[in-house]
Chains A and B, each alone.
Chain A
Amino acid sequence: MLEDTIGTKVATGTPQPAGRREVAFRGGGFLPEPNSIHSWIAFAVVIALWQVAITRRWIDPVFLPSPVAICEALWNLAISGDLWRHLSISLMRIGSGWVIGTGLGLVVGIAMGLWSVTRAVGMPMVSAIYPIPKIALLPLFILWLGIGESPKIVTIASGVFFPTIIATFSGIDSVPRNLIRMAQSFNIPVSGIIWKIILPSALPGILAGFRISMATALLLVVTAEMIGAQFGIGAFLLTAGNLMQTDDLMAGVVILSILGLSIGAILTMVEKAFLSWR
C-alpha cells in the first residue's frame, strides 16, 4: 500500500472489481496557508518551555537567562534611559549608512543597468569588491577618517552599496524588452522610458535588494560598534558579554530581533504601497 498526499490509502497491484465506482480524490495538500494562531501558540510554547527549563534548573541561568529575567533587563534598560541611548545611536548609524550606500548604489546600479559602457567599467570592480567582508575595511576607514562616527557609517554604506548595485541592475535587466519597444514605438523620449517604464518595472527587484541591504546594515552596525564604539547596541552587547551579564546580553539580542522585524515590516509596507499592482 502507498499513502498519498492526503493520507488516503491507495491500493496497488490488487485487482479492482468491475463496474461503476467513485473516482478517488487525489488533489489537496502542498498549499501553505498562513495561520497566525499556530505561530503565536508555538512561540508561547517555546517561551514557556524555556522558562520552565530555567526555573527547574535544567539550564544554568548564567549561560541562558530566563525570558522573565530578559524582560526585567529590558525594563531596567528602558527606565534607565540606556536603551534609547544605545538604540538611537545605532539607528542613526544604520540610517545614515543605509541612505548613503543605497543612494549611491541606486545611481551606480541604474547607470550600469542602462549603459553598456558603465556596466563594462563597473562590473569587474563590483565583482572584485562585493565579496570582501566590509567590516575588514573598518580599520582602513578609521585610518582615513579618524575615530568617530564616519568610519562606522562608511563601513555600513559600503556594505549596503554593493548589494544595492546588483539588485538595481539585475532589476533593470529583467525589465521586459517588449515594454521598452512599445514605448519606443510611441516615440516616448529616453527620460520617459527610464522614469515610466524601466524604473517602475525594476522596482520589485530593487525593493528585494533593500531587504538584503537592510540585513547587511544591521549586521555591520553591530560588528562595527563591537570593534570601536562606546555606545550602540553592538557596544552594549560586547560590554554585557565581557561582564557575563547574560540577561543584558540577551536583552540586546531581543532588541536586535525587534529592530530586524520592524525594518522588515516597514519594507513590507513600502512594497504594499508601491507594488500593489502585482
Chain B
Amino acid sequence: MWDPPPIRASAPVGGGTRPGLARMEVIVDVKLHAYGDLKVLEDIKLHVRSGEIVSVIGPSGCGKSTLLGIMGGILKATDGSVQMEGQIPADCLNPLTYIFQDFALLPWRTVAQNVALPLEHHRMSSAERTARVKDALVRTKLDDFAGALPKQLSGGMRQRVGIARALVVKPAVLLMDEPLSALDAQTRDLLMEDFLDLWLRERVAGVYITHNFHECLRLADRVMVLSRRPGKLKEMIEVRIPQRERTQKSAQTELVDLGNRLWSLIRDEASSAEREVVDA
C-alpha cells in the first residue's frame, strides 16, 4: 500500500489554522480509471494535506474533472481508492464538498433556499438552519440577495451562491471544478480575491481544478500537473510564496518563472489535445 508522504513543517499552508477547524486530509490512490477501453487516469497518487489548496492542471481531456469526481465519491475508480484521514468536526455536515463549474443552482429556489438545500435532510432546529444560512450568505456577501432567484443574478453572484451552499455545511475539504471558468475575466479576478480571503479565514483543504495558470498560481500551495490522456502525474510543483504575498512585486519574478514552467510542461500536450478534440 502506498504510504502518503509526511506533512512537512515548511509546507506553505501559512497563517495558522482556526481552532476547532477541520483537519482533514485526503489520500488518493487511483491505479486506473477507464471508460471501457479508454483509459482516463493512470497511477495518480495525491495526498491533500490539511489546510492546503492543491491545484490540478493539465491539457483538455486529461481527466482532471474525473479525478475530482473520484475524490468526492461521485465517480468510482476502476481500480483505486480515496481515503479521508482526521477527525470530522462536529459541525461539519459534508466533509468533501463540491463547488461546481456551472454553479448547479436550482432555478426555482431563491438564493437562501439554494443555500439551505444541503441542510434540509439534516436534523437541526429551524433557528440553527436559519443561522447557518445567514452566516454563509454574509460570508459570501449575499445577504442582500437572499430572496433573489438565480436568473436575477450575474454569473459571479451565482457562483457566490454555489460557494455559500458549500460553506453552509462547514466542509473539511472543498472540491472545486473550474469554479471561475464560466465567468468573465473581471468577475473572475474579483471572485478569486474574495475566495482567497474566505479561504485564508477558513483554511479548509481544497482541490482546485483549472485551466488557468493565473488562478492556480494565485491560490494553490501545490500544483499537480497531469499529462495528456490517460492522465498521469507529470509533476508536482510547490508554490512556496504564501498567498498573501503573491500580489507583491517581489513575488512576481518567481511566479512568472513558475508560470513559464507550467506552460512548458503542458504546452505540447495541450496543443495535441486540442487537435484531438477538433478531430473528434
Contacts and interface: CB of A to CB of B under 8 A. Distances in A.
Interface of A: 176, 178-179, 181-189, 192, 196-197, 200-201, 275, 277-278
A278 B117 CA distance: 19
B108 interface: yes
Given A192-B120, A196-B120, A277-B149, A186 B104 contact: no
20 contacts: A176-B104, A181-B74, A182-B98, A182-B100, A185-B72, A185-B94, A185-B98, A186-B97, A186-B118, A187-B121, A188-B118, A188-B120, A192-B120, A196-B117, A201-B106, A275-B108, A277-B107, A277-B109, A277-B151, A278-B151
Interface of B: 72-74, 94, 96-98, 100, 102, 104, 106-109, 117-118, 120-121, 149, 151, 169
Contacts of B100: 178, 182
Contacts of B107: 277-278
A36 to B, nearest CB: 27
Given A181-B74, A192-B120, A187 B104 contact: no
A171 to B, nearest CB: 14
A190 B102 CA distance: 22
Contacts of B94: 185-187
Given A197-B106, A277-B107, 9 more contacts: A178-B104, A179-B104, A185-B94, A185-B97, A186-B118, A187-B94, A188-B121, A196-B120, A278-B107
Contacts of A277: 107-109, 149, 151
A178 B102 contact: yes
Nearest to A275: B108
A181 B73 CA distance: 10
Contacts of B72: 185
Nearest to B122: A187
Contacts of A200: 106, 108
B95 to A, nearest CB: 10
6 A-B pairs with least C-beta separation: A182-B104, A186-B118, A277-B108, A185-B98, A178-B104, A277-B107
Nearest to A193: B121
A184 B74 contact: yes
Contacts of A182: 98, 100, 104
A191 to B, nearest CB: 9
B97 A179 contact: no
B171 to A, nearest CB: 10
Contacts of A186: 94, 97, 117-118, 169
Contacts of B169: 186
Nearest to B75: A181
A188 B117 CA distance: 9
Contacts of B118: 186, 188
A181 to B, nearest CB: 6
Contacts of A183: 117
Of A176, A185, A275, chain B has the most CB atoms within 10 Å of the CB of A185
Nearest to B162: A182
Contact of B121 (A192, A201, A275): A192
B102 to A, nearest CB: 6
Nearest to A192: B121
Contacts of A275: 108
Nearest to B113: A196
Contact of A185 (B74, B102, B106, B121): B74
Of A188, A197, A201, chain B has the most CB atoms within 10 Å of the CB of A188
Contacts of B96: 185
A201 to B, nearest CB: 8
A182 B109 CA distance: 15
B133 to A, nearest CB: 14
Nearest to B72: A185
